[in-house]
Chain A
Amino acid sequence: MKLSSKTSEMMKRVGPFNVLWLQAGGCGGCTMSVLERGASGLFEELRGFGVQLLWHPSVSEETGEEARAILAEIERGELTLDALCIEGAVLHGPDGSGLFNKLAGTGRSMLDWIRALASRAHYCLAVGSCAAFGGIPAAAPDPTDARGLQYFSSDPGGALGANYVSQGGLPVINIAGCAPHPGWIMETLLALSLGVFTRADMDSLGRPRLFSDHLAHHGCSRNEFYEFKASADHFFERGCLMENLGCKATQAVGDCNQRSWNGGGSCTQVGATCIACTSPNFENTRGFLETPKRAGIPVGLPLDMPKAWFVALAALSKSATPKRVRQNSHSDRIELPPVPGAKKET
């Protein structure tokens, strides 16, 4: 669907685009992330698109009985729910009761609330990897039987079941990430409000392609070190983090190194290894900070690269590494800057 043909429709939108945001078994970090959004702040940007927050636990005035009244109205179908945003995993335990996470003041589990409200929602969004796939609360031994809305790890299912589609005809939209970039959340929400977000905009795991068409590795500031396999041995060194220090940016989706986080950063930019937080099951890594190897070769190779090629190219590029790159890779700062016309040596 073309944006131009819809823009005029938006201008004619009679009612607001109603959003309800609830927090389940998570940490609130997705909300903290989205609060960073907008040149004039989150709420101005939402208003600019006619998006109305029916209720959000962190920011809305209504509390207790007033909040329960809003939820009841939505549940009865008396208040239009254009988008249901769930942050946090859906806790099924103990014994399928969901009672590890009751919605305060209601006596009902979030599991129960989410199932009831999702049936009313025009679109349903899992905000963050917990709501999408289970995330950190689902890490072994998964003490609370935590699942995503429509996935348990990478298996379809979850709290709403594999066959769930929202009133608007889409499965759950999985804005993965721990926490997701504020842009991933807002751009998806705004595209939905304009009616231009379709099934074709989602990848095979329900993630918006606006970020999942890229690998976190793309645009990494350590790219020259990666090319030459000039690898860091310690986290404070400038070299590539992939070979020794657990970095999964060549396997994890996300445009992390193409858009800036907090005004100019990214995990790999500062030497914080990529733990593939947009991927199902990232939480079950054992040894986040080191690269598992077999016979000296990293087990997790770049997403679609044949092992033999990786080994051959790595050997070749290591032997071709310029002295400048090798030396800088083992330093916490640039010791040898690039010098035009310098003698070429490896």
Chain B
Amino acid sequence: MSRIVIGPFNRVEGDLEVTLDLDAGVVREARVSAPLYRGFEQILVGRPAEDALAIAPRICGICSLSQSLAVVGALRAAQDLQAAPNGLLMTNIAHAAENIADHLTHFYVFFMPDFARKAYARRPWFEAIERRFKATRGTNLRETLPARAGLLQTMGLIAGKWPHSLAFHPGGVTRAIDLGEQMRLLALLAAFRAFLEKTLFAAPLEAISELENSRALEIFAEGRGAAGDFAAFLRVARETTLDQLGRGPGLLMSSGAYLGPNGHRFPRGLFDCAAGATRPLPFDAIQEDVSHAWMRDSAAEPANAETIPDMSRDEAYSFAKAPRLAGRAVEVGALARQAVAGHPLIRDLLAQAGAPNVFARVVARLLEIAILTQTTENWARDLRLGDPFCAKDGLLRDGPVIGFVEAARGALGHWATFGDGRILRYQIVAPTTWNFSPRDASGAPGPLEFALQGLEVGDEAASSVAVQHIVRSFDPCMVCTAH
């Protein structure tokens, strides 16, 4: 048995260290560590409740708006407030822009450059992939970074700037837009659609969102979409059998995404791969375990928990707590959202492989880009410019509330207790806290730790590119994970 430590594990958001115990070239156990702690929960306690709108987004520069919206959700619950429908639409447009930009950044900047590594130099596809996706030098970056910046111009109109905005309130958004600005929004979205249909998909967005199963995906990759970056990924993925890599424990969770006047765009729920079925998500079954975290013992229920670091714990190896749902490790993210939503392609990919995997995670993100861009166009058209964009704040009720939102990387929850207009308790469980959680008291690993177990790395050990694919397939956000 030998132990290797991989770090700094980069091209992820934030700091990540992965430790692998190897036996005859096979990963027997993996330990994932979040080595940064800043103390946001400690900073929030005692402040005026609305100050969370300024502080919490700064947990994360890539999920900033998601953090804002979890605060908004908590304040809205405590005010028993109905937001203005226009406010919800504008919020969703901005939130979709953040999440699409994240998915895009993940694919082009974080994930694909690993296929341009020397480890693949002898593959027939290598030269083309290297030219297109090499880190900081690939030809895609000349198109994708300006397209990303163009999409984020929607933030200039709605949020003022990105990241970190104070434009989102329990009642809606701070600014009513006029006709010219609505047209600008639509023009920005049209320009982004044109980029996707030329470069990423080389096909209409509708052709992507209507893909029904893995067979249709194969036909697309060789046929109408063959010239796009998506198809390039699909061909490489088949050759490198990414669908066999990084198999998760199989329980997928979505807290419900994009709350509009008529409910969530993507529903809340649990999808169990083994059963192939969804079931309701019992929020009260969420608990956090600190047996392997550099954290003092505290209540297991987030609503009553505190986050106080303690570096003296013997078994600890991460600043992340281990969230569990009824005792089980759960995977969150685009794959979970689309599995719970019942998208036929995603359900088929999971059925074929029998478990969440590297391939399905990446496909789900790109699929979401296609679906969300279309939905965002509809939201921008649905605005009723004569109606309010924000409802007046209500009175803040004392007591515990929860703000839930789906960040790009999955379920984000803020458990807050307010009293006398102030924050008495605050507990945050972020998407990668779920995916990259350390072990719990029973010794059960978190989803990434589970997904790395059994991986054959042979003599490559720390330089195994398969480890890179598996870790990055989750698109970890480490600054959210421990905060």
Contacts and interface: CB of A to CB of B under 8 A. Distances in A.
Given A67-B10, A265-B159, A271-B174, 14 more contacts: A26-B61, A27-B479, A41-B145, A53-B136, A61-B116, A61-B134, A105-B5, A105-B6, A143-B42, A144-B38, A235-B169, A267-B165, A267-B166, A332-B175
A164 interface: no
A106 B8 contact: yes
Interface in A24-43: 25-33, 35-43
The 4 A-B pairs at the shortest CB distance, nearest first, are namely A29-B61, A105-B7, A143-B39, A104-B7
Interface in B119-172: 134-137, 141-146, 148-150, 152-167, 169, 171-172
B174 A236 contact: yes
Contacts of B35: 101-104
Contacts of A89: 38
Nearest to A30: B61
Contacts of A41: 141-146
A100 B50 contact: no
A106 B5 CA distance: 9
Contacts of B7: 64, 103-106
Interface of B: 5-17, 33, 35-39, 42-43, 47-48, 50-51, 53-55, 58-62, 64, 105, 109-110, 113, 116-117, 134-137, 141-146, 148-150, 152-167, 169, 171-176, 178, 184, 188, 309, 311, 319, 388-390, 392-393, 462-463, 468, 479
A144 B39 contact: yes
B37 A101 contact: yes
Contact of B14 (A28, A262, A264): A28
Nearest to A333: B176
B61 A94 contact: no
Interface in A228-264: 234-236, 260-264
Nearest to B114: A61
A181 to B, nearest CB: 8
B148 A35 contact: yes
A184 to B, nearest CB: 12
Nearest to B392: A234
Given A40-B142, A105-B9, A100 B149 contact: no
Nearest to B166: A272
Contacts of B39: 137, 143-144
A283 B51 CA distance: 10
B61 A28 contact: yes
A27 B60 contact: yes
Contacts of B390: 234-236, 332
A342 interface: no
B17 A104 contact: yes
A36 B148 contact: yes
A65 interface: yes
Contacts of B153: 262-264
Contact of B8 (A44, A57, A181, A264): A57
B475 to A, nearest CB: 12
Contacts of A277: 164
A179 B38 CA distance: 17
Given A272-B165, A289-B53, A27 B462 contact: no
Nearest to B135: A61
A163 B311 CA distance: 32
A119 interface: no
B192 to A, nearest CB: 12
B156 A103 contact: no
A155 B33 CA distance: 34
B469 to A, nearest CB: 12
B7 to A, nearest CB: 2
A287 B51 contact: yes
Given A27-B61, A36-B148, A43 B161 contact: no
Nearest to B150: A263
A43 B136 contact: yes
B311 A94 contact: yes
Contact of B156 (A33, A60, A136, A265): A265
A106 B43 CA distance: 28
A266 B160 contact: yes
A286 interface: yes
Given A35-B105, A57-B10, A144-B39, A288 B50 contact: yes
Given A100-B37, A270-B175, A332-B389, A60 B11 contact: yes
